[in-house]
A and B are shown apart, each in its own frame.
Chain A
Amino acid sequence: MEILIIVVFILGYTAIALEHPIKVNKTASAILTGVICWTLFVLADPSASVVESEAFQNFTKHLALEKGIDNFSKFTSSELYKEFVIHSLAEHLSEIAQILFFLMGAMTIVELVDAHHGFRFITDRINTKNPKFLMWIICIVAFFLSAVLDNLTTTIVMVSLVRKLIPDRNMRLLFIGMIVISANAGGAWTPIGDVTTTMLWIGGQITSMNIIQALFIPSLACMIAPLILLSFTLRGNMGEMKSHSSTPEHTVGGGKLMLFLGVAVLVSVPIFKTTTHLPPYVGMLLGLGVLWVVSELIHPDLDETVKKNYTAAGALSRIDVPSVLFFLGILLAVGALESMQVLHHFALTLDTAIGNHSIIISLIGVLSAIVDNVPLVAASMGMYSMDVFPPNHFIWEYLAYCAGTGGSILIIGSAAGVAAMGMEKIDFIWYVKKISLLALLGYGVGAVVYLLLN
């Protein structure tokens, strides 16, 4: 049965990677994979590796405490196994839900700022005509924006800006490729910057100040190395604007206020966690609640239908819920493998076969370009025990770097890439030809910088 579950997992993964050729949305494949893995797991006969695992032993001990010895001894071994599976699922769900509600909160806040055109205060400052100079500016803005916001949002904001600034399509696509690299690099070094670093932070493997100190320079190197290369090789111009757009769209006031509040709220999430010890999603929901109330109060004179676009209710209808469910499915599937001890065994095999942690983690980073980085990090978190590798251990920091930036190597390797692909119809092969090498260069340089610093 264990083999069957691994096969289902691999098939699911293949379907996700081949989303476009087989024309099945990756969320559907991810959800089905997650559910089928757990169904097979609960219907399977208890395997020795599960029953002998520490998690199972702890579970039976706690159950005996809770039910009393008399009731406990009435459980048959297959009932005990079922109880264990359901209990593990509930624990996984709690962790997964923390990540998902965190993401949903962040995405809604950013949508809300965007609805008020708050990002214009950033994009309006950019008015150069020199492509090399512009590329440096765009990449650096993307880098720092994605340190505060999530990569997906940064990419969406920067891509819509580049669309207004660069009429020439070939030049624009190159810019967008670099935005993906910068967004991923910028997300890696802050706890709220991207999903995988957030996962490690929520899981307690890294702490906020520490990860910033350790990864800021490597992440910067990861972005700057391809930029320097491009400064020498970039040819062409940005093309002529067809009509000078004076943006006649309807706007409302409060853009500056929402931008300021949005950033303040996102930045205060780690502070909230430190003060209250409550998980970060609680802080994010607090921020969302505050912004929501503000968004309803600052437009008292708009009528209901127009106002709806500028409130959090409207913003919620525009966030990318399929990607939230995609994470749910994929994290459930990884959770099943983790509870079945498959990942643990995989880690041991990898450990004995290669032995060197930096090589293993570098490989995970490269692998995260082919498959999604969220399950890989979840797998690694399950592979290595916190008892052996304490918080802020070298492997967690390096993992945050590799998983965060390795995804840039292929367009489907990161959420930022997938968003860019959706917005500008970027071809998979075009990206391989034009961007992958640049991304690989940055990834390698950043990794070397990190290893040298340590």
Chain B
Amino acid sequence: MELLIVAVFVVGYILIALEHPIHINKTATALLTGVLCWTLFAFSDPTASLLSSQHFIDFLEKLKSSAPNFAALTSSEIHREFVVESLAEHLSEISQILFFLMGAMTIVELVDAHHGFKFITDRITTKNAKTLLWIVCGVTFILSAILDNLTTTIVMVSLIRKIIPNKDMRLFFAGMIIVAANAGGAWSPIGDVTTTMLWIGGQITAVGIVKSLIIPSIVCMIVPLIYLSFTMKGELGEETKVKVEEPSSGYGKLMLFLGVAALISVPIFKTVTHLPPYLGMMLGLGVLWVASELINPNVDDSKKKNYTAAHALTRIDMPSVLFFLGILLAVGALQSMTTLHNFAEFLNHTLGDNRIIITLIGILSAIVDNVPLVAASMGMYDMSVYPPDDMIWEYLAYCAGTGGSLLVIGSAAGVAAMGMVKIDFIWYIKKITLLAAIGYFAGAAAYLIQYSLLH
């Protein structure tokens, strides 16, 4: 039965990767995979490795002390209890991530609805291609540490669409934005999904991850930039269109300020209260929501609607949220069955070194989604052996965060940019992949050297 569940998982995973050719949305596949894995798990007989796992023994002890009729329970009833209990535990962890994401996405949408990001992008006016590249990448790097990579990419790519008329040059910039956005997200607990997952799971701490990954992440972006400074040729091209003023609500600056303040205070909230991060995010969302309803008191209701959080909520990417739900449920089933743990031991025996395994995970994340990869790694390695802020967690955050830049389909940022400026898969491999690879390995080397110097 365990084999069957692994088979379902693998098939589901392949269908997700083949989303576009087979025309089935990956969220549908992910939901079905998650549900099927748990259904089969509930029907299966417990395996020997499950029965001897520490988690199961702990569960038995608890059940003994809380269920009065423990002696009367059959082994299949106990198994069923165990499955339901494990599912509830996983759901609690998963929904923390999902509500965190929903809150963050809504805050960002709300700032965007008020044209808050214009205050940043309006300031970029240089005409020199190399200077512009440095500025664009620098801004992307900082923005993506605060916002999610997807939004950062959308904001920055729409900027370069306006200021770079030359098509080849524009694609080049878009490629570097992807690299910079992924590098910028990796070192901040609120910057991208995988680092956030590790933070919410307790594998890394906010201060610890910033300290250990900021230098590798900067290296990951700057090395390709330096290389480009020597080799880049070409012009930005002449601007043909006159700028059209977009109507704005007049509160863009306020909302931008509030939004960034809300996002940055999430880690502070966690440190002060010890409550999970999603609550801090919800607090921020609540404050911004009230603010968005109280400003513009004179606008009539139908217009005002566009500027409220209720409207922003209709524009967030709910299919992605449900995709994470499905895929994380599936990974959770494999974790509870101890399959992942066994797989990690197998990898250890064949490859030997965790650093090699994690570097490979990073490269793999260019092909498959990095969220399940990180979720699986979190299940593979036990927190009692690898305590918070251990090298493997930090290195995992770096690799999974930046490895996706290697292919245009490897990260959410890449997929978004692909949709916006029509980047070709092959074009990206020819022009950007090498740059991204240089950055990825330079950053990885920087982390490993930094680690050996400090420990």
The contact of B287 among A32, A61, A312, by CB within 8 Å, is A32
Asked if A395 is at the interface (CB within 8 A of a chain B CB), the reply is: no
Shortest 8 CB-CB contacts between residues of A and residues of B: A292-B28, A97-B95, A28-B289, A94-B92, A289-B31, A289-B32, A32-B286, A31-B286
Contact, CB under 8 Å: A288 / B31: yes
The contact of A289 among B28, B92, B275, by CB within 8 Å, is B28
Q: A93-B92, A278-B84, A282-B39 are in contact. List 7 more A-B contacts (CB 8 A).
A: A42-B273, A65-B62, A276-B39, A282-B87, A292-B31, A293-B32, A316-B318
For B27, list chain A residues within 8 Å (CB): 292, 312-313
For B283, list chain A residues within 8 Å (CB): 31-32, 35-36, 39
Contact, CB under 8 Å: A282 / B24: no
Contact, CB under 8 Å: A316 / B28: no
Contact, CB under 8 Å: A277 / B31: no
Contact, CB under 8 Å: B91 / A42: no
Contact, CB under 8 Å: A27 / B289: yes
Asked if B42 is at the interface (CB within 8 A of a chain A CB), the reply is: yes
| A25 CB → nearest B CB, Å | 6
Asked if B279 is at the interface (CB within 8 A of a chain A CB), the reply is: yes
**CA–CA, A279 and B34, complex, Å:** 13
| A203 CB → nearest B CB, Å | 12
Asked if A317 is at the interface (CB within 8 A of a chain B CB), the reply is: yes
Asked if A76 is at the interface (CB within 8 A of a chain B CB), the reply is: no
For A296, list chain B residues within 8 Å (CB): 23-25, 28
For B290, list chain A residues within 8 Å (CB): 24, 28, 32
Contact, CB under 8 Å: A82 / B274: yes
Asked if B38 is at the interface (CB within 8 A of a chain A CB), the reply is: yes
Contact, CB under 8 Å: A317 / B293: no
Asked if A286 is at the interface (CB within 8 A of a chain B CB), the reply is: yes
Mask: chain A, 74-92; 1 = CB below 8 Å from B; 0 = not: 0000000010011001110
Contact, CB under 8 Å: B32 / A62: no
**CA–CA, A62 and B293, complex, Å:** 46
Asked if B118 is at the interface (CB within 8 A of a chain A CB), the reply is: no
**CA–CA, A286 and B297, complex, Å:** 44
| B54 CB → nearest A CB, Å | 10
Report the count of interface residues on B (CB-CB < 8 A): 63
| A299 CB → nearest B CB, Å | 10
Asked if B267 is at the interface (CB within 8 A of a chain A CB), the reply is: no
For B297, list chain A residues within 8 Å (CB): 23
| B87 CB → nearest A CB, Å | 7
Asked if A325 is at the interface (CB within 8 A of a chain B CB), the reply is: yes
The contact of B87 among A23, A279, A286, by CB within 8 Å, is A279
The contact of A93 among B34, B96, B313, by CB within 8 Å, is B96
Mask: chain B, 302-326; 1 = CB below 8 Å from A; 0 = not: 0000001110011110110010011
Asked if A322 is at the interface (CB within 8 A of a chain B CB), the reply is: yes
| Cβ < 8 Å to A, chain B residues 21-60 | 23-25, 27-29, 31-32, 34-36, 38-39, 42-43, 58
| B273 CB → nearest A CB, Å | 5
Contact, CB under 8 Å: A286 / B279: no
- Report how many A-B pairs have Cβ atoms within 8 Å: 175
Contact, CB under 8 Å: B314 / A318: yes
The contact of A65 among B58, B92, B287, by CB within 8 Å, is B58
Contact, CB under 8 Å: B313 / A321: yes
Asked if B122 is at the interface (CB within 8 A of a chain A CB), the reply is: no
CB-CB nearest in chain B for A97: B95
Question: Contacts A24-B290, A65-B65: A94 and B91 contacting too (C-beta < 8 A)?
Answer: yes
What are 22 A-B residue pairs whose CB atoms fall within 8 Å in the complex?
Answer: A23-B294, A25-B293, A27-B289, A27-B310, A32-B286, A42-B273, A65-B58, A94-B95, A96-B95, A277-B42, A278-B83, A285-B34, A285-B326, A289-B29, A292-B27, A296-B24, A297-B24, A312-B319, A313-B25, A313-B27, A316-B318, A321-B102
| B376 CB → nearest A CB, Å | 20
For B318, list chain A residues within 8 Å (CB): 316-317, 319, 321
CB-CB nearest in chain B for A66: B58
| A301 CB → nearest B CB, Å | 12
> Interface on B for A, CB 8 Å cutoff?
23-25, 27-29, 31-32, 34-36, 38-39, 42-43, 58, 61-62, 65-66, 80, 83-84, 87-89, 91-96, 98-99, 102, 273-276, 279-280, 282-283, 285-287, 289-290, 293-294, 297, 308-310, 313-316, 318-319, 322, 325-326
CB-CB nearest in chain A for B35: A286
Contact, CB under 8 Å: A86 / B275: yes
Contact, CB under 8 Å: A98 / B91: yes
| B161 CB → nearest A CB, Å | 20
**CA–CA, A297 and B294, complex, Å:** 45
Contact, CB under 8 Å: B28 / A94: no
Contact, CB under 8 Å: B31 / A285: yes
Mask: chain A, 300-331; 1 = CB below 8 Å from B; 0 = not: 10000000000111001111011001001100
**CA–CA, A279 and B87, complex, Å:** 9
**CA–CA, A135 and B25, complex, Å:** 42
For B273, list chain A residues within 8 Å (CB): 39, 42-43
For A95, list chain B residues within 8 Å (CB): 88
For B294, list chain A residues within 8 Å (CB): 23-24
Contact, CB under 8 Å: A61 / B279: no
**CA–CA, A91 and B96, complex, Å:** 12
For B31, list chain A residues within 8 Å (CB): 285-286, 288-289, 292
Contact, CB under 8 Å: B32 / A31: no
Interface of B is mostly: helix
| Cβ < 8 Å to B, chain A residues 238-280 | 276-279
For A329, list chain B residues within 8 Å (CB): 282, 286
Contact, CB under 8 Å: B282 / A31: yes
| Cβ < 8 Å to B, chain A residues 17-76 | 23-25, 27-29, 31-32, 34-36, 38-39, 42-43, 58, 61-62, 65-66
For A289, list chain B residues within 8 Å (CB): 28-29, 31-32, 35, 326
**CA–CA, A316 and B31, complex, Å:** 14
For B23, list chain A residues within 8 Å (CB): 296-297, 300
Contact, CB under 8 Å: B65 / A325: no
Contact, CB under 8 Å: B84 / A277: yes
Asked if A119 is at the interface (CB within 8 A of a chain B CB), the reply is: no
Asked if A290 is at the interface (CB within 8 A of a chain B CB), the reply is: yes
CB-CB nearest in chain A for B58: A66
CB-CB nearest in chain B for A36: B283
Asked if A101 is at the interface (CB within 8 A of a chain B CB), the reply is: yes
Contact, CB under 8 Å: B92 / A90: yes
CB-CB nearest in chain A for B33: A289
| B27 CB → nearest A CB, Å | 7
CB-CB nearest in chain B for A15: B290
| B24 CB → nearest A CB, Å | 5
For B319, list chain A residues within 8 Å (CB): 312-313, 316
**CA–CA, A224 and B14, complex, Å:** 54
For A36, list chain B residues within 8 Å (CB): 283
For A317, list chain B residues within 8 Å (CB): 314-315, 318
Contact, CB under 8 Å: A91 / B92: yes
| A311 CB → nearest B CB, Å | 7
| B322 CB → nearest A CB, Å | 7
| B51 CB → nearest A CB, Å | 18
| A408 CB → nearest B CB, Å | 25
The contact of A42 among B274, B308, B314, by CB within 8 Å, is B274
| B69 CB → nearest A CB, Å | 13
**CA–CA, A298 and B80, complex, Å:** 37
Contact, CB under 8 Å: B276 / A86: yes
The contact of A39 among B62, B275, B325, by CB within 8 Å, is B275
| B56 CB → nearest A CB, Å | 13
Contact, CB under 8 Å: A328 / B99: yes
**CA–CA, A290 and B316, complex, Å:** 23
**CA–CA, A220 and B448, complex, Å:** 71
| A321 CB → nearest B CB, Å | 4
Contact, CB under 8 Å: A28 / B286: yes
The contact of B24 among A100, A293, A316, by CB within 8 Å, is A293
For B316, list chain A residues within 8 Å (CB): 321
